[in-house]
Amino acid sequence: MPHAAVRVLTGGVRLPPMPSIRDLVKLYKLQALKHMSQNFIMDERLTDKIVKSAGRIDTKDTVLEVGPGPGGITRSILRRKPARLILVEKDERFMPTLELLKECAGPLNTEVEIYTADILRFDIAKHVPMSENRLHLIGNLPFSISTRLLINWLNDLSLGRGAFQNHNTSMTLTFQKEVAERICAEIGDAQRCRLSIMSQIWTQPFLKFIIPGKAFVPKPDVDVGVVKLVPLKHPKTDLPFELVERVMRCIFNMRQKYCRRGYSNLLPPENRDEMTDALFELADVDPTVRPFELSVDECLRLITVYAGFIEKYPEVADYDYRARKKPLNDNID
């Protein structure tokens, strides 16, 4: 396809003439697959709005798009003329449309790289070397992997690895509306959960806007929220990610009960109540508040005192209240 002249527009550029996303979907008979949680956005005004939510993208930046599908969001990214655009798509059916977009990106001086890969196993550090320039992670995520991917990336962020070896990385991602609200839920919000605390320890999340389900093809049963997560320059803890997740999982596993109830499951039955009360007192946290009423700082104090406790009694670290009951080697006094 011959390249046409590129005309500069407000907020980006116009791509060379090519079929619309809707036409390409019909041309290549690209049906969304339910088992892969695929839903297409055909409205370019919405894809432009998603990319705008990522903030400034300039000619020195790199963008990695997760699951571009037929390329709706990809077009909107290309209009911003990043230095590099990395597309990670698991479904090989979309390769022809993405290759077409790559060809049309020629006049924009954007280097486009396409990988057929599962983003959960994709080695971002291998493809994006450490740089002072910005890295934007953008994607209309399949519902089936969205929470898992975010947890993986928060773990990477806590360790400064993968996409987060760069100091200027941000995430602009879609989630089911309820999940998006949970990520951003403030103290006292009934939606506040483990994901809220963990997201807010390492990032500042912003719920940018809600996309109605009817905007997708096929229409999902839920609306979708666009969330931008900006890594904090100074994370609120340097405690190990696995430890944070373990404590938060126990506390929020019983979200409607007093927070001490879930927290106590971190401890073996012997002297559990006494130990729980002592740790809450040491952390200076009210044991009778509900988990969603805990601040990030209070959660971190509870994790810190638990970390000190298992340092003194290492055998407790392996205790799992869900496993078959077995006595510890030594009593804890």
Give dist(CA 213, CA 269) in Å, integer.
Answer: 47
Contacts of 160 (CB under 8 A, 6+ apart): none
pTM for this prediction:
0.87
Res. 171 pLDDT band, cuts 50 70 90: very high
Tokens encoding 325: 């009951």
Q: What is the pLDDT of residue 13?
A: 61
Burial pattern 295-312, b for ≥16 Cβ within 10 A else e, equals: ebebbbbbbbbbeebbee
Question: Is a pLDDT exceeding 60 seen at residue 326?
Answer: no
Residue 193: Cβ within 10 Å count: 21
Q: Which of 178, 147, 191, 177 is closest to 293 using CA atoms?
A: 191
Per-residue pLDDT, 81 = 92
* Amino acid letter, residue 245: E
HSE of 155, CA atoms in CB hemisphere, 13 A? 12
pLDDT > 80? residue 260: yes
State yes or no: pLDDT of 10 exceeds 60.
no
pLDDT in tens, 221-238: 899 999 999 999 999 999
Question: Cα separation of 317 and 329, whole Å?
Answer: 13
Supply the pLDDT for residue 323. 80
DSSP assignment of 195-232? HHHHHHHHEEEEEEEEE-GGGEESPPSS-EEEEEEEE-
**Cα–Cα distance measured from residue 182 to residue 248, given in angstroms and rounded to the nearest whole number:** 14
Helix, coil or strand: residue 66: strand
Cβ-based neighbours of 303, under 8 Å, separated by 6 or more: 237, 239, 243, 244, 247, 248
> What does the mean pLDDT of the chain come to?
88
- State mean pLDDT over 47-56: 97
Going by pLDDT thresholds of 50, 70 and 90, the confidence category of residue 23 is low
Strands (E), 96-188: 111-116, 135-139, 169-176
The values of phi and psi at residue 211, to 5°, are -105, 120
Mean pLDDT of 61-83: 94
**Structure token pair of residue 326:** 């077995």
Distances 131 to 62, 125, 145, 229 between C-alpha atoms, Å: 10, 11, 28, 19
H helix or E strand, kind and range, residue 63: strand 62-66
Task: Answer for the pair 110, 82: CB distance below 8 angstroms, yes or no.
Answer: yes
Evaluate if residue 170 carries a pLDDT over 50: yes
Q: What percent of the chain has pLDDT over 70?
A: 86
Which residues face 42 on adjacent strands? none
The residues pairing with 63 across neighbouring beta strands, listed in sequence order, are: 85, 136
137-168 per-position pLDDT tens digit: 999 999 999 999 999 999 999 999 999 998 89
* pLDDT number for residue 38: 54
pLDDT score for 219 = 77
Average pLDDT, stretch 241-261? 96
pLDDT (average), residues 172-185: 98
Q: Could you tell me the two tokens for 310?
A: 């298992």
Mean pLDDT of 176-203: 97
Listed range (38-52, 145-159, 255-269) with the worst mean pLDDT: 38-52
Which helix (H) or strand (E) covers residue 86, if one does? strand 84-89
Write down all domains in the chain, each with its CATH number in brackets. Answer: 8-231 (3.40.50.150), 241-318 (1.10.8.100)
Confidence of residue 24 (pLDDT cuts 50, 70, 90): low
